[in-house]
Amino acid sequence: MRSWLLKKETRVKFKNDRARLEFGKAPFKLREICIDLDTASQKKFKIEMTCTRVKEPVANESGVHPAGRAADFRDEYMIDSEKTERLYQPEQVQDLVDYLNEKYPRTDGKSVAIHHAVEGGMDHFHVQIPYAWLLPHERKGE
């Protein structure tokens, strides 16, 4: 099980070393869902997902990233100093978000996957798991 997971993980791409290291230490369920997202993106649309952020904090966020229960994946990105492009068409974004939310339903009224931008930043996929999905050894009391 462990070696299978590590093998699959190598397919997720990372924006930087920080994201790669933090993803490697992220909760099992979060990694499983993110690998599922990347696999679905490649199978359906031939697009490899890039993880841009795991625990790195940004201004005015909920704190779920620093708590280690969320990961972001690239959609919009800068092509020069003022122009951006997107990796995904709007219907592809909707397909992937729906796919995860149907497969991993939460019972707390929140969604496991959304597509958004924070404070004028780039649009991206945001994957987030509830505290209840942490394994016992991953719970450190938030």
Q: Residues interacting with Zn ion, by CB under 5 A?
A: 70, 72, 126
Phi-psi region of 60 (alpha: psi -120 to 50; beta: other; left: phi over 0): left
**To the nearest whole angstrom, how small is the minimum distance from the Cβ of residue 16 to Zn ion?**
15
**To the nearest whole angstrom, how small is the minimum distance from the Cβ of residue 3 to Zn ion?**
29
**To the nearest whole angstrom, how small is the minimum distance from the Cβ of residue 2 to Zn ion?**
27
Which is nearer to Zn ion, 72 or 75 (by Cβ)?
Answer: 72
Which is nearer to Zn ion, 124 or 134 (by Cβ)?
Answer: 124
**How far is residue 34's CA from residue 14's CA, in Å, rounded to a whole number?**
12
Which is nearer to Zn ion, 71 or 134 (by Cβ)?
Answer: 71
